[in-house]
Amino acid sequence: MKSNLTQISIIAPFYNEESGAKEFFSRVESVLSKLPYSYEIITINDGSRDNTLSILLSEQKRNPKIKVLNFSRNFGKEAGLSAGLAFSSGDMVIPIDSDLQDPPEIIPNMIQKWKEGYEVVYAKRKERAGESWFKKLTANFFYKSISYMSDVEIPRDVGDFRLIDRKVVDAINSMGERNRFMKGIFAWVGFKHTFIEYDRDARFEGNTKWNYWKLWNFALDGILMFSTIPLKIWSYIGFAVSGFAFFYLIFRIIRVLIRGIDVPGYDSTIVIVLFLGGIQLIGIGVLGEYIARVFHEVKQRPVYLVSEAIGFKTNSKKKK
């Protein structure tokens, strides 16, 4: 059994969430205040352009258990989660979306699983309210694709909402990679895990910041960071095209021996040239995506920069 004095760290990245920020704190604090644990709520202002930062600072003055990391600019949600993990001090760390699509009311159920000895407790979505059929379809396709391609089993229908034991957090913080696909990183470290199911709500207020272009790039990062199969696929395509060309050559030689030389075909030549050119360009593009990620890694730039750290015991600005 775990100690009843254990601290909980809530991690919540914010980006232009002024309309729902106060409701977020109301619901989260209502849940945490009923638990026999001390807690901290680490909020990350990820370069918001509205009044999100002012609200976070106001809430921090009201409740010193709320802490604020203010990024120097927008670095993205993955960087926000990384910063929250680095600054957290709890034995239980719970990342949660600030738009209240992930209900904080199931946190006690997650803690119960943790007390049973599980080191990671996933929150798995049964229903996804407020999402279009196309987004659900593409999400389903993404999880199937990455499950097939990756050597690491990434849980399906699981977002960032989960409970993580301190030893798991320490393991993640020790990872030095700059291109952060947190779903993959959470899965890669392993440890004893389980899940609880819940119905995901629609956003409390406002609109999602994730358009389809951002979601496409996010999915691409996930596949390329945890799989080399795209590179292997183009090797197989190269062998297939070469094999087709060889057999076509044999066919043409036999045809010439039987029927003589035909008049050269302009259309077929153009089609073959364009087809092979397209194959080569796509293959080079896939290779370029991997090289770009290597390029970002070797520069060793930090994942994020903290402009202000408010509410922490030390005012050190961690850079990852």
Q: How far is CA 49 from the centre of its chain?
A: 23
For the stretch 197-231, pLDDT in tens is: 877 765 545 555 555 555 556 556 656 666 666 76
Helix 229-259 to helix 266-299 angle, to the nearest 10 degrees? 160
Cα four-point dihedral sign 65, 71, 74, 77: negative
- Residue 69's pLDDT band, with cuts at 50, 70 and 90, is very high
Q: What is the mean pLDDT of residues 303-309?
A: 85
The letter for the amino acid at 29 is E
Least confident stretch, 122-136, 159-173, 184-198, 269-283: 122-136
- Whole-number Å distance between alpha carbons of 308 and 54: 13
Q: Could you tell me how many helices (H) and strands (E) the chain has, helices first?
A: 10, 8
Please tell me the distance from the alpha carbon of residue 80 to that of residue 86, in angstroms, as a whole number: 10
- Burial grade of 173 (CB within 10 A; 0-12, 13-18, 19 or more): middle
Contact residues for 293 (Cβ-Cβ < 8 A; gap 6+): 179, 224, 225
Distance between CA atoms of residues 217 and 214, nearest Å = 5
Which residues contact residue 19 at a Cβ distance below 8 angstroms, ignoring those fewer than 6 apart? 205, 206
Question: For residue range 98-109, what is the model confidence (pLDDT) as tens digits?
Answer: 888 888 888 888
**Interior angle at CA 96, CA 179 and CA 225, nearest 5:** 20
Highest-confidence segment of 128-132, 261-265, 299-303: 299-303
Strand partners, 39: 8
